[in-house]
Amino acid sequence: MEIWRGKAYPLGATYDGSGTNFALFSEVAERVELCLFDDDGDGGLRETRITLPEVDGFVWHGFIPNIEPGQRYGYRVHGPYDPAAGHRCNPNKLVLDPYAKAIDGQFDWGQPLFSYNFGDPDSRNDDDSAPNMPKSVVINPYFDWGVDRPPSHDYADTVIYEAHVKGLTQTHPDIPDNIRGTYAAVAHPAIVEHLQNLGINAIELMPVHHFANDSTLIDKGLSNYWGYNTIGFLAPDSKYSSSPNPGGQVQEFKAMVRTLHEAGIEVILDVVYNHTAEGNHMGPTLSFRGIDNAAYYRLVDDDKRYYMDYTGTGNSLNVGHPHALQLIMDSLRYWVIEMHVDGFRFDLASTLAREFYDVDRLATFFELVQQDPVVSQVKLIAEPWDVGPGGYQVGNFPPLWTEWNGKYRDTVRDYWRGEPATLDEFASRITGSADLYEQTGRRPFASINFVIAHDGFTLRDLVSYNEKHNEANGEDNNDGESHNRSWNCGAEGPTDDPEVNALRSRQQRNFITTLLLSQGVPMLAHGDELGRTQQGNNNVYCQDSELSWIDWESADTELLEFTQKVSALRSAHPVFRRRRFFNGRPVRRPGEPRLPDIGWYAPDGSEMTDEDWDAGYAKSMAVYLNGQGIPDRDERGQRIVDDSFYMCFNAHYEPIEFVLPPSDFAEQWVEVINTAADCGTDPIEAGTRVTVESRAMLVLQAHHD
């Protein structure tokens, strides 16, 4: 087969209409073979091996005319196999292209995928792995985007919906069977309408980078459902594609993005750049390990056969190496430029900040992101922790970044389950966590607020279980977090007790109202608005089944309608979406009373004192949000003015009377949200006493004749 010298850039397989350029980085390789796979006519694949003719700057490359989209390929890298020195090249192991834009097929787990013999990790195994490996695919880069434009919602106006492609769509009755669980299903009108009715304008998809299904889970009859096991950083996973054609997942993913953009919904990807599916020194050779192990992974300094593990998964990507960094940045740019995604949520992002052993918020990776003209302009969300020493870094990421606020989650859970001494921190969390973000020049929207995420109980289970129930995972209930800050409201699991069920419903409404009306960016977990349950399992990473999917037929329609109502209130009122922190000082507005932009009040109507804040038993308070005190301006430079609100929180086990503010605040108030009952319709006079039921929340809006 004819092969030309080609080019060293871009890396990966690049089709230009007349043929395909192949380029692979390896600093340790002595020779690189490109392996092309075609149907042999008997249901198998025929392999053609071609040595790449050129190497420039450690990039091996060549151009082959007439190689078209759909072509399956891989590499065999000839080089040193010396694990003690950090080298694991073995040309008997077919490796995936790190820059593959599509991957076809699945892993057939067995001895050939491993470079050592089972039972003897110091040995070498030379079985050919090609029959057991999926293949990289040359893709057609063309797609008709039409007039697609990114929605580009301001952070302050964003409502995020964390979702799993399959879990969200697999059982929806209006979605055709042949596309359920796929990118096409996410773009189906039934899902788009559901998101729009909820006020969602950004969907955060759990990992869709091509990932490996762990052999240990397959042996148990389970699977890696969540997908935090990446092996292809530029390839949308084919498991979520309805297309039968190699590479068809790319076109389907792009069509999904285009449809969501038409509906005003951004697409954010949950990305896993901290580790790969190759695991530790006992793991398989699938890609990076067999190409240039020491360049792509952090190795133990005094024994390079072992891997540094800040993630709990066996390895950590070597973000200190320029080519590993280049892969991450090239991947991010590709998803923005070619796939039109709108942002990223970085799994275990503290790992990316580790220059050596310490977490350094000014690490090279963050400097690269800061100066990158493409990546720096999209939404960047950090999961600000990892499992290494000093890895919990909430509040410590650079100003460009927003963060999953784990302290918000913990505090709000503790408050509504009645834990002592949470009142002052609860107040800080619902007003944007200024203590975490203001000192670095960030705004309230640096806080991605959440009560529930994929990792842990669903919202319904949070109020239904005191203990995790993960027996189905096959680990004797030892996996998953044991300290969930949950409360079952009086009975463990399903019950016929009407009082317990009523309290659980009220608690779910409390969490949803608190979340959506807090300052910052709210994130809902898919199905929480429908009352989704995982039957007490708080770690469904391996459960690709009805246990983890949304059960659309059993949706709690009352909870859904309530969530839609609260979301609409947030959308309609900028006082819940401030772009600057409160300062508590009187607002100077001509003709208006000099009231603070925010005020905190005890149930008797008096201002909160230090003694009130410090009372560990206190479970009730009210907050006044001054609609005249918003320091923001709209796009035309006009000052933003809104109605004022008075929110009464009662996490006490008994009803509490709240005295409404005097007429300087508002002559009358009207109920707009009541988590314990239907809202009253009659205006309530200033200074009136109102009863807030036990463990409930009341939101009042200033009323104008």
Residues taking part in catalysis: 347, 383
Stated as kind and residue range, the H or E segment containing 72 is strand 72-78
Closest of 163, 150, 635, 147 to residue 377, by C-alpha: 150
Q: Phi/psi class of residue 136: alpha, beta or left (left: φ > 0; alpha: ψ in -120 to 50)?
A: beta
The C-alpha atoms of residue 114 and residue 290 are separated, in whole angstroms, by 10
Two structure tokens written together for 273: 């750049």
The C-alpha atoms of residue 22 and residue 60 are separated, in whole angstroms, by 8
The C-alpha atoms of residue 385 and residue 349 are separated, in whole angstroms, by 6
| Total residue count of the chain as it appears in this document | 705
Closest of 15, 55, 3, 14 to residue 32, by C-alpha: 55
The C-alpha atoms of residue 523 and residue 625 are separated, in whole angstroms, by 22
What are the distances in angstroms from CA 109 to CA 192, 212, 284? 38, 10, 9
The C-alpha atoms of residue 74 and residue 23 are separated, in whole angstroms, by 11
Q: Strand (E) positions, 347-466? A: 379-382, 402-404, 447-449
DSSP codes, 134-159: -EEE--------TT-------GGG--
CB 97 within 8 A of CB 133: no
Angle value at C-alpha 163, between 159 and 166, nearest 5 degrees? 155
State the SS3 of 339-359: CCCCEEEECCHHHHHECCCCE
CB 489 within 8 A of CB 500: yes
What are the distances in angstroms from CA 693 to CA 252, 646, 677? 50, 16, 9
Q: Is 252 helix (H, G, I), strand (E, B) or coil?
A: helix
The C-alpha atoms of residue 99 and residue 484 are separated, in whole angstroms, by 39
Sign of CA dihedral 598, 602, 606, 609: negative
Two structure tokens written together for 148: 């697609």
CB neighbours of residue 351 within 10 Å: 28
Two structure tokens written together for 607: 């201002």
Q: Roughly how many angstroms between the first and final C-alpha of the chain, as a whole number?
A: 83
The residue type of 302 is: D
CB 275 within 8 A of CB 231: no
CB 33 within 8 A of CB 94: no
Strands 230-236 and 343-346: unpaired
